[in-house]
Amino acid sequence: MLRLVCILLMLVVTIIDIGPFPITSLLMIWILLFRPSWFYDLVQRIYR
């Protein structure tokens, strides 16, 4: 279920990224700079 939600969210972000705002690259830069704990937890749950 979690993988399906992640895939759907990435599809939405990809569709939005086609528009005038590069959301995907800004989101990835933010994640790399601040390394939020929720992102680490999400990755751990996906690969568990």
Cα–Cα distance, 19 to 8 (Å, whole number)? 18
The two structure tokens encoding residue 34: 């601040």
Give tens-digit pLDDT for 1-48. 788 887 888 888 777 777 777 777 778 888 888 888 988 898 898 888
Q: Please give the tally of structural domains in the chain.
A: 1
Q: What is the per-residue pLDDT for 11?
A: 83
The whole domain housing 41 covers: 2-47
20: DSSP letter: S
